[in-house]
Amino acid sequence: MRKTERYPVEGPNALWQIYRTVPWWKGVRNFVFIQVSRYTPILPVKNWIYRHVLGMKVGKHAAFALMVMPDVFFPERIEVGDNSIIGYNTTILAHEYLIKEYRLGDVKIGSNVMIGANTTILPGVTIGDGAVVAAGSLVHKDVPVGAFVGGNPMQVIREAAAAETE
């Protein structure tokens, strides 16, 4: 099970109640800055926006490809380690709004991680250092250090070699 905090709601579905959980102005501000970042080809500019405007923890030399979509409402719950690459059009979610509840979870992406294009990472997931996530994957559970994973739903394709984990 992913590491998420669960918050039940009464009445209409949780998404209709989003502005009870997040100020509307935060959503608008974050949306504008995320859209600028999605189209910016200049990596230091993207990382500056992610760190200083959105409150993400972004390591040295982390690289976000074009069209990456970090969580609009809770970007501060996303952490990316040093020298990691987040592939084109990847979505990183730190929230999920359901019918009778919403859930929040930190997303931790380690150092030297490669995330392939068009991947979706769900809330509460940790991706270990040196892991590789194949393009088009749905990351719904933790990824071990050094593992190669892929698919929808994600499966471990290859575990890390013993020398890599020591």
Task: Write the secondary structure of 50-109 as one string of H (helix), E (strand) and C (coil).
Answer: HHHHCCCEECCCCEECCCCEECCCCHHHEEECCCCEECCCCEECCEEECCCEEEECCEEE
Domain ranges of the chain: 5-156
Q: How confident is the model at residue 2 (pLDDT cuts 50, 70, 90)?
A: confident
Decide if 138 contacts 152 (C-beta within 8 A): yes
Q: What is the pLDDT of residues 61-111, one digit of tens each?
A: 999 999 999 999 999 999 999 999 999 999 999 999 999 999 999 999 999
63-64 and 126-127 strand pairing = unpaired
155-158 and 148-150 strand pairing = antiparallel
CATH classification of 5-156, choosing from 2.160.10.10, 3.40.50.880, 3.40.50.1820, 2.120.10.90? 2.160.10.10
Residue whose C-alpha is closest to residue 115's, from 102, 103, 125: 125
Q: What is the pLDDT of residues 16-49, one digit of tens each?
A: 999 999 999 999 999 999 999 999 999 999 999 9
pTM confidence score: 0.94
Residue 1 has pLDDT above 80, yes or no: no
CA atoms within 13 A on the CB side of 39: 5
Straight-line distance from the first to the last Cα atom of the chain, in angstroms, rounded to the nearest whole number: 26
DSSP one-letter code for 150: E
